[in-house]
Amino acid sequence: MCFFRKKNRAKCKKGNAGGSTFKRSVEYTGQKLYEKGVIEEIEGLPKQQFKHVVFEFKAEDENGLFIISGKFMGVTMEKVEIVFQDLLQLRFKGVAEKKMFGKTKFNVDLLISLINKKFYGK
């Protein structure tokens, strides 16, 4: 079962051919994440181009494991595995930002909030 609100249900994807499990995912443009404060900067890319970058957050079967994939103008550039517990550990240590994809700086607190809201309903 997909737990996203009605407007985001199209983002849910079936996990296996039997259809008994779902892999939940959600996509945001770089522009939207920047407006929310989740992304602080993408090195070498002007803010006007953030709308061409899409980040997909996908919950894996293993609890707390997420795959974040980055696309630029529809072309998948890179994928990063994130363990939610590691993000919480960074917050505990007082780390404010995490660099992913070699160029993108994410705000740790707001990334945790986004994942909590979209995947855990908190």
Q: Is residue 85 part of a domain?
A: yes
- What is the maximum span of the chain, computed from C-alpha positions, in angstroms? 44
Give domain status of residue 97, yes or no.
Answer: yes
- Per-residue pLDDT tens for 73-117? 888 888 999 999 999 999 999 999 999 988 899 999 999 999 988
Q: What percent of the chain has pLDDT over 90?
A: 61
Range of the domain at 111: 6-120
Listed ranges 30-34, 57-61, 71-75, 77-81; the one with the highest mean pLDDT: 30-34
The answer to whether the CB of 70 falls within 8 A of the CB of 55 is yes
The kind and range of the H/E element at 108 are helix 108-115
User: How many residues does the structure list for the chain?
Assistant: 122
Between CA 81 and CA 48 the distance in angstroms is 27
Q: Per the structure, how many domains does the chain have? A: 1
pLDDT band of residue 37 (cuts 50, 70, 90) is very high
pLDDT at 122: 63
